[in-house]
Amino acid sequence: MQIYKFGGASVKNAESVKNLGKILSTNNTPVIVVISAMGKTTNALEKLVEAYFTKNTGKAYEIASQIKTVHLRIFDALIKNKASEKRASLDTLFQLLENKLEKAPSLNYDYEYDQIVPFGELLSTKIVYLYLQEIGIPCTWLDIRQVLRTDDQYRAAVIDWETSREQFRKKLSKIDHHVITQGFIASTREGISTTLGREGSDYTASVLANLSLAEELIIWKDVPGIMNADPKQFPNAHKLEKISYQEAVELAFYGAKVIHPKTIQPLQNKLIPLKVKSFLDPLSEGSIIQEIHEDIDFLPVYILKENQTLISISLRDFSFINERQISEIYGLFDKHRVHVSLSQNSAISYSACVDCEKRRLPDLIEDLRKRYKVLYNEGVELITIRHYTDSCIQEVLSNKEVLLEQRSRRTARFVVRNAK
């Protein structure tokens, strides 16, 4: 069995769905195909949740209607046979979304998010499925929420492996055609929708690869493979041919957008190789992540995280920051679910670089300020260079003011802002 994962960019319009059909049509063995929401739909749905949650009903309906228009346009461009019959299954989804918007929101933002954002994946998979039927590729559509069970940590749900394995065995162990299903979404034991964190479709695909003992997972992207830098940020990016699981985990941890950080572990546990290939050039080699024992020469890898906040915390009376305070500070980060990308402490202060999470940071800072003096810089960048050399550091830091820096044998990290 193979698992394919197609991200938002690979299903962003009718042309790209046709291209997906072409890739699948060349494969005669059954594939489980994991698909994300089309294009930037998840971002639009996040805005919709915001409007719904803040009871801005007009805005919520307006965004819902835009999402509907975009999807129907793609549907119309793809589906000609029995179009009205096939429209019905999409209309059911639009109706469910509207029903949700009619009800008043609860007080739990994360819960509401998980009841609305999954529509992106449900719609995209429905349209792809209908199109594959249209061109005669045998396949079924599966609501992955019937297979993947999680706890109820909404927006960051944790897979219940045992139940998911059992469900997988019942529903997916013997398939004789392609299965079209959603990434990123799952459900609790009670059947309430959950999500696995932004960009979580890679992780879904890797969980399914683990459960099916797949021979490989292929993630189809709009780049030739895993690059040593994001080509949008560094025009000189090169492809990495082969990467070990361990190196891939390191890259994902530092914020490389190649793959969702949780993707590697389920694959590594079963030694399933992960290929990253271009959907624009399906015959080219791409990159492969697998078990590698020999030493390979590393290219420097550049990872840029934008929109970070650097928080600096100290005691008001100028006393030392010791283990007890650090543990209390970490407890507060954990309580507010703010992830620390990099931290450093000096005698009297502790600094942490975190994602600028508008919903979580203000409460965290307020909590911290009950005991500490807190200063922060917004809009900074975190640059990581793996396998760095002096010259690549120099190049990356030209025109930057360094606020904090850390170097280990293989990795150099800098919190910077643009020099004035």
Find the binding residues for Mg ion in span 2-21 (CB under 5 A). 8
Q: Which of 187, 201, 210, 212 binds ligand ASP (CB under 6 A)?
A: 201
| Least distance CB 399 / Mg ion (angstroms) | 32
347 Cβ partners below 8 Å, 6+ apart?
A: 320, 321
| Least distance CB 24 / ligand ASP (angstroms) | 19
Q: How far apart are CA 358 and CA 352, in angstroms?
A: 16
| Lookup: tokens for 337 | 């679910």
Count of residues in contact with ligand ASP, rule CB under 6 A:
12
Q: Which of 11, 33, 37, 415 binds ligand ASP (CB under 6 A)?
A: 37
* DSSP structure string for 339-384: -EEEEEE-SSEEEEEEE--TTTHHHHHHHHHTTEEEEEEEEEEEEE
Q: Which is nearer to ligand ASP, 16 or 201 (CB)?
A: 201
243 to each of 149, 206, 227, 246, 382, how far by Cα in Å? 31, 17, 11, 8, 23
Q: 229 near 237, Cβ under 8 Å?
A: yes
| Least distance CB 20 / ligand ASP (angstroms) | 15
Strands 287-290 and 242-244 come out as parallel
Considering only the stretches 37-45, 88-96, 126-134, 308-316, report the one whose residues sit in contact with Mg ion under the rule CB under 5 A.
37-45
Q: 384 near 308, Cβ under 8 Å?
A: no
Q: Which of 36, 193, 204, 263 binds Mg ion (CB under 5 A)?
A: 36
Per CB under 6 A, 36 contacts ligand ASP: yes
- Give the residue nearest to Mg ion (CB): 8
Residue at token pair 């059911």: 92
Find the binding residues for ligand ASP in span 105-134 (CB under 6 A). 120
Q: Which is nearer to Mg ion, 13 or 290 (CB)?
A: 13
| Lookup: tokens for 167 | 């469900």
Per CB under 6 A, 261 contacts ligand ASP: no
Per CB under 6 A, 257 contacts ligand ASP: no
**What is the C-alpha R_g of the chain?**
23
Q: Which of 2, 10, 19, 42 binds ligand ASP (CB under 6 A)?
A: 42
CB burial string 127-140: b at 16+ within 10 A, e below: bbbbbbbbeebebe
Letters for 276-315 (x = contact with Mg ion by CB under 5 A, - = none) are: ----------------------------------------
| Least distance CB 99 / ligand ASP (angstroms) | 22
Per CB under 5 A, 261 contacts Mg ion: no
| Lookup: tokens for 171 | 């529903």
SS3 string, 31-56, reads EEEEECCCCCHHHHHHHHHHHHHCCC
Per CB under 5 A, 120 contacts Mg ion: no
Q: Where does this chain bind ligand ASP (CB under 6 A)?
A: 7-8, 36-37, 42, 120, 183-184, 198-201
Contacts with Mg ion, residue ranges (CB under 5 A): 8, 36, 42
